[in-house]
Amino acid sequence: MTAHADRPGRDDAPGRNDAPGRVEAASSRPDAPGRPDGPGRTGTPGRRTGVWFIGARGSVATTATTGCAAIAAGLHPPTGMVTETPPFADSGLPPLTSLVFGGHETLDCPLAKRAEALAEGGVLPYRLPTAVRGELDAADAEIRPGGPLPGDTRTDEELIAAFAADLTGFAHRHELARTVVINVSSTEPAAGPGSPRLPASSLYAAAALRAGCSYANFTPSTGLRAPALAEAVADCGLPHAGRDGKTGQTLLRSVLAPMFLQRALPVRAWSGSNLLGGGDGAALADPAAAAAKNAGKERVLADTFGTAPEGEVHIDDVPAMGDWKTAWDHIAFDGFLGSRMVLQTIWQGCDSALAAPLVLDLARLLARSHELGLSGPRPELGFYFKDPDGGTSAALAEQYATLLAFAERLRGRA
């Protein structure tokens, strides 16, 4: 991964955006003439919301884009979407029919072909990609090349400027009220100390701020948390949320760990194992990427108990499993009078199908936050993350209560 020797300096001259995170107000509220509505362009001009995926042809983004089209067309119910439950009614969230999709991607496979492959693997209903082909093609037309790819000689500043231009162009073409950037790309290895360049995830994150877009990092990658971006993040005036989506094994840990604590049952050891294939399995075969992923899983236990119990999490790449995953947990704990007990769990599921409704939730919640002028980290959205923004409990029940209170706040300002 390439990165940057010197942080670019600021330049406040009109039309210039030379520092990561410099934001022009016009970029998030374009006033250029828009195009007529078509597939993927439903809704009143100026009321549409952009959803820009980093990793736009990956399993999660493809599932989310396909699923949103299916739900908007009434072909499937919004299973797994928390924002479609009664507590979020009348909270002013953008309707699913108003979402317009695009993104950055380093792969060339057309989005419709990617959806067909997921349908063949059982992730999507078999005929669904054909039913929403128009929406998939419209989203695919808005996918731009990501990077840096091998041989790319552009500096960090040049890459950030190019990515930000892609975002502002997207907003102008569709007369978007605002755009939410969500990183759902493969996990990158953690950047080493003193690395002279920003990791790719941070280049995209800096571009989001520069283009006036709210941002969520659904991966364990660095994103906005690069030290070189600290000032830009503090000054951006935009809402942003968390790191590393909580979809399976860690979701269960965030429920079980508080149970042991509240029932005064000391946990002696907590070990886990994951078998997965697909792009995630291949990416996490890299020990450095796996370490970044496991840090979030361990954090839930450490935050709940005060210290992480003995035990580790192992991740094995099993290509034959495709987009499906099996996760085991073995929990050793003490009962009354020192009796030794064990709880074992097995989680089997499809990561992209678990993640897709959550990223749609985040897009809607961040768009509404942006509309209301809420800025900075949004700990209210910790419900969705392994590594939430500060001031958030690790317990899922408490995170959910905080999220519901946030829905009330949004409703009160509708």
Classified as helix, coil or strand, 77 is: coil
Same domain as 287, residue 236: no
Same domain as 228, residue 259: no
Same domain as 209, residue 223: yes
The CATH code of the domain that includes 281 is 3.30.360.10
Same domain as 104, residue 81: yes
Structural domain total, the chain = 2
Same domain as 120, residue 93: yes
Same domain as 99, residue 72: yes
Parallel, antiparallel or unpaired: strands 313-317 and 324-334: unpaired
Among 300, 327, 350, residue at a domain's last position = 350
Asked whether residue 20 is domain-assigned, the answer is no
**Is-contact 34 176, C-beta < 8 A?**
no
10-residue averages of pLDDT along the chain (414 residues): 34 37 35 34 70 97 98 97 97 97 96 96 95 98 94 95 98 97 90 82 98 97 94 95 92 95 96 82 60 68 91 87 90 96 95 96 98 96 92 89 96 74
Q: Which residue type is seen at 7?
A: R
User: What are the beta bridge partners of residue 355?
Assistant: none
3-state secondary structure 78-126: CCCCHHHCHHHCCCCCCCHHHEEEEEEECCCCCHHHHHHHHHHCCCCCC
* DSSP string computed for 349-364: EEHHHHHHHHHHHHHH
Asked whether residue 169 is domain-assigned, the answer is yes
Q: Which domain holds residue 166?
A: 25-245+354-412
Among 324, 350, 376, residue at a domain's last position = 350
Asked whether residue 5 is domain-assigned, the answer is no
Asked whether residue 19 is domain-assigned, the answer is no
Asked whether residue 101 is domain-assigned, the answer is yes
Same domain as 312, residue 262: yes
**What is the reported pTM?**
0.86
- Phi, psi of 313, rounded to the nearest 5 degrees: -110, 130
Asked whether residue 188 is domain-assigned, the answer is yes
Same domain as 171, residue 33: yes
Render the burial of 313-349: b for 16+ CB within 10 Å, e for the rest: bebebeeebbbbbbbbbebbbeeeeeeeeeeeeebee
Task: Identify the residue whose tokens are 């690069």.
Answer: 226
Same domain as 229, residue 172: yes
